[in-house]
């Protein structure tokens, strides 16, 4: 694999280390994306119209996040994972399958958001310690969006 040498003033070892973590996060966001599509398709019940539409909004925004993480890795001069095989080999969050109950669907999203937040905070700390403001600010944006979403989904269930 040919990689570009991108001169952005960051240490080479650090770039490798943070990319390993970003690739796990990327794999997890791809699983999260496919989970959301499955929930969009499979949800049933009284809240069908509301949840079907909300899950579509969430998988579309998750698709954008996937691209931002992958392009951050490319900006670091490294290679984002891009096959289903690699995603399945690196993911850490749960695959959600055949869930049609609305509350179960929302709970599964909350559980996975929590795991994504933990990873994002770890990456943000590592990036901050290495003066990698670009990666830190990407994590910071993801964290505040997901925290707000966590509030809203928790309010939905209460
Ligand atoms: Fe659809």
The model's pLDDT over 70-103, given as tens digits with 9 standing for 90+, comes to 999 999 999 999 999 999 999 999 999 999 999 9
Architecture per CATH, domain 12-157, reads as Up-down Bundle (1.20)
88-141 pLDDT, tens digit each: 999 999 999 999 999 999 999 999 999 999 999 999 999 999 999 999 999 999
Q: How far is the CA of 40 from the centre of ligand 1 (A)?
A: 7
- Res 3: pLDDT: 73
Domain boundaries, the chain: 12-157
pTM above 0.75, yes or no: yes
Q: How far is the CA of 56 from the centre of ligand 1 (A)?
A: 7
b/e map of 109-134 (b: 16 or more CB within 10 Å)?
beebbeebbebbeebbebbeebebee
Q: How far is the CA of 37 from the centre of ligand 1 (A)?
A: 8
- Res 5: pLDDT: 83
């Amino acid at each position: 694999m040919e990689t570009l040498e991108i001169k952005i003033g960051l240490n080479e070892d650090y770039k490798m280390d943070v990319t390993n973590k970003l690739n796990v996060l990327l794999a997890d966001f791809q699983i999260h994306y496919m989970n959301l599509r499955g929930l969009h398709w499979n949800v049933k019940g009284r809240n069908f119209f509301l949840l079907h539409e909300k899950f579509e909004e969430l998988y579309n925004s998750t698709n954008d996040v996937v691209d931002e993480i992958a392009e951050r890795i490319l900006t670091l001069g490294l290679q984002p994972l891009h096959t289903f095989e690699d995603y399945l080999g690196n993911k850490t969050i749960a695959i959600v399958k055949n869930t049609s109950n609305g509350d179960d669907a929302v709970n599964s999203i909350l559980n996975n958001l929590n795991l994504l937040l933990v990873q994002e905070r770890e990456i943000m700390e590592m990036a901050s310690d290495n003066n990698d403001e670009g990666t830190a600010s990407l994590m910071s944006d993801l964290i505040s969006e997901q925290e707000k979403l966590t509030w809203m989904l928790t309010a939905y269930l209460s």
